[in-house]
Amino acid sequence: MTMPSWLKDTSSRASIGASSWRSVMPDSVPRRTVIGSVRERYQKRLHTLPHGSTVLANANADARKGEQMEPDWATLASPHRAVTATTLAEFYELNRALTEDGLVSNAVAAYRRAWRLRLDPSLGSVPLIDLDPLTIARARALWDGKPSTKQDALALLSKVLDLAVLANLIPTNAARSLPRSRHKAEDADPVARALSDRQVARMLELTSFHPFGQRALAGLTFTGLRLGELTGLRWEDLDEERGIITVRRTFSPNGHGKLEARATKSGRIRSVPIIEDLRPWLDAAREAGFPFVFTGVRGGPLDSGNLARAVKWFALRDRIVTFSDGRPLRFHDLRHTYLTRLARLGIPPAQLQRIAGHASITTTELYTRSSSIEAALAVKQTVDRLSREVTLGGGESAANNGFTRDSSW
């Protein structure tokens, strides 16, 4: 950066400050006079720079605390330093409304928790210009919570730094070049969370005491929609002649205990097929006479809380299935069930992505890979079949496959 003229005439280097003046000026010149002149000139310049008033106030506060005899006025008043001395916390407070613009209430709440519990304590006091990937990675390593909550914090940080780039306060967004975390996603193997046909039948049988709740569970299983999307379906969204459902909206919490209709998670309208397994449930829902397809008893929208209470989910779910990872069955696993079923039928990933509403094909491809459970069952089936072919005398089939009675692993 070219040194401005107002610094050239006071020092040969931009970094010189009041403390340096004390050592380089001749004893015959009163130091108080020199320092006062430098202070006055630099303070005047600070008031003309972005965030200069904040820098000046902080410097004077440090001096009053006795942390330094006199602030380093030349360094503080350089245009580069005055702009970039803004901390992450200061910039966030100025632009918080922009980071939350367009978000649903639960996303806003997640961002605010991420700031309060993780970003502010670890990085809030760091100047924007000092936020390099290593600094952020060190902070992330100290954050507690699940990988998803840490990802919320990183997403918010990236939004804030994007705005700082837009404001020309920093050259690049350091969060975008952050090394990948080694934490595994909770649903890294969603196929392993899918229910079998027998387990789906058991779930619907156990919840038959509540027809509205049972119908919602069937809808989740046979459409693959998210719960908010399912409860947002109106009858005009169904083209039963062509067998198409148009997903236009989702119900999300508004932060005040109510559900509001909003755009879908991806922000796009999409279509899903009406499969034959779904039709009986649609016929039963039509008899209820409500404008929305899947509702509560009184026609209101369902959320995870009132649906769980209606079908006694927490008491019943372990009777439906238990998973080896120790995590109980969730409503979202019914979406995994539907998408896994389509993948097993050979639906191409590009089509599956459109039906699921995934923003990234990488997410969709998780359903096209064999889960660890499927792989184990396939190996077991092959070994059991070959083992049955082994006879007391060995047999041609067993010999050809390398198996005899003396075979060992």
Same domain, 117 and 28: no
Total structural domains within the chain: 4
Same domain, 266 and 354: yes
Considering only CA atoms, which of 391, 156, 379, 295 is closest in space to residue 399? 391
Q: How far, in Å, CA of 153 to CA of 172, rounded?
A: 18
Same domain, 155 and 212: no
Helix orientation angle between 211-223 and 332-344, rounded to the nearest 10 degrees: 40
- Domain-located, residue 185: no
**pLDDT the model gives residue 124:** 93
Q: Which of 109, 144, 177 is the last residue of a domain?
A: 177
Same domain, 265 and 394: no
Residue appearing with tokens 């932060």: 255
Same domain, 381 and 296: no
Same domain, 294 and 197: yes
**pLDDT the model gives residue 43:** 57
Q: How far, in Å, CA of 212 to CA of 295, rounded?
A: 7
Same domain, 137 and 195: no
Q: Which of 177, 209, 232 is the last residue of a domain?
A: 177
Q: Which of 27, 56, 84 is the last residue of a domain?
A: 84
Q: How far, in Å, CA of 126 to CA of 403, rounded?
A: 66
- Domain-located, residue 79: yes
- Domain-located, residue 90: no
pTM of the entire predicted model: 0.60
**pLDDT the model gives residue 359:** 84
Same domain, 76 and 165: no
123, 175 Cβ separation under 8 angstroms: no
What token pair was written down for 108? 């806003």
Same domain, 207 and 287: yes
- Domain-located, residue 34: yes
What domain range includes position 165? 95-177
**pLDDT the model gives residue 372:** 63
pLDDT digits (tens, 9 = 90+) for 20-70: 333 333 344 344 443 444 456 555 555 555 555 665 666 666 556 554 445
**Bridge-partner residues for 234, per DSSP?**
292
**pLDDT the model gives residue 224:** 96
In this structure, what CATH number is given to the domain that contains residue 215? 1.10.443.10
pLDDT digits (tens, 9 = 90+) for 313-372: 999 999 999 998 889 999 999 999 999 999 999 899 999 999 999 888 888 888 887 656
Does residue 394 sit in helix, strand or coil? strand
In this structure, what CATH number is given to the domain that contains residue 134? 1.10.150.130
- Domain-located, residue 102: yes
- Domain-located, residue 184: no
Same domain, 146 and 214: no
Same domain, 269 and 141: no
- Domain-located, residue 124: yes
Rounded average pLDDT per 10-residue block, the chain, 409 residues: 39 35 38 46 53 60 54 48 72 92 78 93 92 92 87 92 91 85 59 94 97 97 95 95 94 75 81 96 95 94 93 96 91 96 92 91 84 71 75 49 44
Same domain, 382 and 257: no
- Domain-located, residue 312: yes
